[in-house]
Amino acid sequence: MAIEVKNIVKKFGSFAALDGVDLKVADGELLALLGPSGSGKTTLLRIIAGLDWPDAGEVKFDGQDALARGAGERNVGFVFQHYALFRHMSVFENVAFGLRVQPRKIRKTEAQIRARVKELLDLVQLDWLAERYPSQLSGGQRQRIALARALAIEPRILLLDEPFGALDAKVRKELRQWLRTLHEEIHVTSIFVTHDQEEALEVANRVVVMDKGKIEQIGTPGDVYDNPASAFVHGFIGESIVLPVDVQGGQVKLGHKLLNVEAGNAVGPSNLFVRRHDMQIGAVGEGSLEGTVRRVRTFGPIQRADIALSGNDTLVEIDAPRDRPLTAGDAVSLQPRRYRIFAAS
Amino acid sequence: MSAAKHRRTLPGFGLTMGLTLTWLSIIVLIPLAGLVLKTFELSFDQFWTIITSRRTLNALKTSFGLAFLAASVNLIAGMIIVWALTRYRFPGRRIFDAIVDIPFALPTAVAGVALTSLFAQNGWLGAPLAELGIKVAFTPIGIFVAMVFIGIPFVVRTVQPVLQDIDREIEEVSACLGANRWQTIWRVLLPSLLPAMLTGFALAFARAVGEYGSVIFIAGNLPNISEIAPLLIVIRLSEFRYADATAIAVVMLLTSFLVIFAINRIQRWSQSRMVRP
């Protein structure tokens, strides 16, 4: 089911959690809402689910007004960060809950419910836990049960709020993979909220980057990483070196030093953003920035070096291949290969 | 025997267990044993006659019956109060929260006098009720009112922390899954609250059964009508009929024990469904 969000505003007191948000989600898409805490991503998810109402704006499911309907009538599956399983019910009963509370007219028979729950537990590969209670499960298992429970009502939309946020790194990685595969299998329109860029880039078809109640950029994972639309996106996704520069008449200066980079549209005080691995390291004179290597660490295929720029005391961290070993004390030059310049806000 | 056998991560089991047993013995077991022993001064026939006498039976019926009724009312009213206090934010919430504790703190005699003057036929509430033909003070209804008064904090204070601990998310999930409000309360919230509700009920009941101070002022204390068992015990004591007094006390003790034991079992059962070992 397609979702359309139009000009949503939501205020908590004087704080604008959402400040005019527009978003279109195509049927069958797996979308990530990515942003720091307080960016409004969870609020947006809750509004789509019907757990919160906006102060202004529209939410449409396949062109139909969703705001007129309550959470129970929207046919939306919602998965919480902390699972929110019913502690007094067995795993089986947790998954069966959505089927048991259906109005009598459309409620399935006991045998049908059993078959459906079995099918879902198979889907999340936890059929052997049916008789257990939530307190006896690991975090990863609980989250998969929560997902099975949400899928029981055959939702047309699946919403996940930081679904892997409470899990340890290894389980998180497994579940990410698993969520991708699951989505390919059942193909329900899904939106998940995360503050973990790696998770968003790895799992989603499209990523929505949010900050301070506004959408900063919408694009494919490759897009938001390679072509960040704003200084915020560049800084938030992937590690960036940020250098304060001054742009005058198409010339970019760091302090008094003229840099061999193109100014683009920026004018006046700006920031130069460079990815760590996009900083070309060379002998003195080869690049437009110069500095001294302070410290070098090597891991795997790269070496990471702290370089103190001469002229000002800025310390930048760069990643370089290991074919040209660096040692502390070396005088080197730096030249940004790929970069973006955004006006300083 | 190896030294390892004597090691525990939490030392002090012997000491604390010894102190626990000694303390419980001095404070609880020995006095109760003395009570039971005292009744052995009576032959079984005498004992039976005392506890099956009309006046004793009526007093026991009044005490236990009204205590049960009062605890039931407190359970329902207490749940509503807990709900309002934990789920909503309103001005004066903290004051209401503090008011709940007053029956804990107020000397029971003061409560009795206050309730009596309130419900007496010329009292603020007693006068309008009298016009409707309802007499509260100096009747069993008065006993019931006093028991409700002293029992309410027990339900509120035991259920409140449990309801506070239940995440809003639990209810939200339930709503998303299509459950209506009633189904959410009935299938999701009440089962989680049940153990605490039973504890609150048991405490309110036990307190009401044993209540003396506030009840005797409002009860009127007519034998066979509005006389509670604790009062009958005091009357027997003042008549120097110690064995009679203890016989009634033993019956109260056993009945209370059975009721609380039964509630405890139900509680265990409902809890074991929630957290299995």
- pLDDT tens digit string along A109-166? 999 999 999 999 998 889 999 999 999 999 889 999 999 999 999 999 999 999 888 8
Is residue A77 less than 8 Å (CB to CB) from chain B?
Answer: yes
Q: Token pair of A210, please?
A: 């949010």
Cα angle A326, A328, A331; round to 5: 75
| Cα separations in angstroms, B222 against B52, B55, B114, B218, B231 | 18, 10, 20, 11, 11
Look at residue B277 in the predicted model and tell me its pLDDT: 37
Three-class SS of B62-82 = HHHHHHHHHHHHHHHHHHHHH
Is residue A109 less than 8 Å (CB to CB) from chain B?
Answer: no
The pLDDT > 70 percentage for chain A reads 100
**Between chains, do B180 and A77 touch, taking CB under 8 Å as contact?**
no
**Among A72, A133, A149, whose Cβ lies nearest the Cβ of B276?**
A133
Q: What is the radius of gyration, based on Cα positions, of chain A? A: 25
Query: Which B-chain residues 164-223 have CB contacts (< 8 A) with chain A?
Result: 167, 169-170, 172-180, 183, 187-188, 191-192
Nearest chain A Cα distance for residue B256, angstroms: 29
Q: What is the radius of gyration, based on Cα positions, of chain B? A: 23
User: Which residues of chain A have a CB within 8 Å of the CB of B169?
Assistant: 80, 82, 84
Task: Residue A75: name the closest of A150, A135, A160, A173 by CA.
Answer: A150
pLDDT at B207 over 80: yes
Average pLDDT value for residue range A305-321: 85
Task: Residue A194: name the closest of A216, A161, A226, A224 by CA.
Answer: A161
Identify the band that residue B3 occupies on the pLDDT scale cut at 50, 70 and 90: low
CA of B272: which chain A residue's CA is closest? A88
Look at residue B276 in the predicted model and tell me its pLDDT: 44
User: Which residues of chain A have a CB within 8 Å of the CB of B193?
Assistant: none
Average pLDDT value for residue range A208-217: 93
| Most B-contacting residue of A12, A69, A74, A87 (CB-CB within 10 A), to test interface | A87
β-sheet bridge partners, residue A193: A33, A161
- Using DSSP, state whether A326 is helix, strand or coil: coil
Q: From CA A208, how far away is CA A23, in angstroms rounded?
A: 9
CA of B271: which chain A residue's CA is closest? A88
Is residue A49 less than 8 Å (CB to CB) from chain B?
Answer: yes
Kindly report, residue by residue over A104-113, the tens digit of the pLDDT: 888 999 999 9
Average pLDDT value for residue range A30-52: 92
Q: From CA B238, how far away is CA A93, in angstroms rounded?
A: 60
pLDDT at B4 over 60: no
Q: From CA A167, how far away is CA A16, in angstroms rounded?
A: 30
User: Which residues of chain A have a CB within 8 Å of the CB of B170?
Assistant: 84, 86
Question: What is the value of pTM for the model shown?
Answer: 0.79
Q: From CA B227, how far away is CA B220, in angstroms rounded?
A: 8
* HSE of A145, CA atoms in CB hemisphere, 13 A: 32
